[in-house]
Amino acid sequence: MPKAVKGVLIECDPSIKAIILKIDQDHHDYIVEDLDDQHLVIKESQLPRLKEELENVAIPTLPRNLNTC
């Protein structure tokens, strides 16, 4: 019998999608369906955890001397 999984449609740049695919590749904890170059369906229950993972990946790449207006 098929099992239903509650998901969230997200739209992102292809570069961010590549990072999400890389994060998901080991355990398949996040992605329900890979739709196209900019859209994924993510397990709703895993969305906060995925956001944390993305922040951990993105923060080291930000410039340290960022001037704000």
pLDDT reported for residue 3: 87
Residue 61's pLDDT is: 65
Q: What is the DSSP string of 4-68?
A: ---EEEEE--HHHHHHHHHHHTTT--SEEEE-SSSEEEEEGGGHHHHHHHHHHHHGGGS-SS---
Q: Kindly report the pTM of this predicted structure.
A: 0.79
pLDDT of residue 9: 97
pLDDT in tens, 37-68: 999 999 999 999 999 999 888 777 656 555 44
Q: Tell me what percent of the residues of the chain surpass a pLDDT of 70.
A: 86
pLDDT at 62: 59
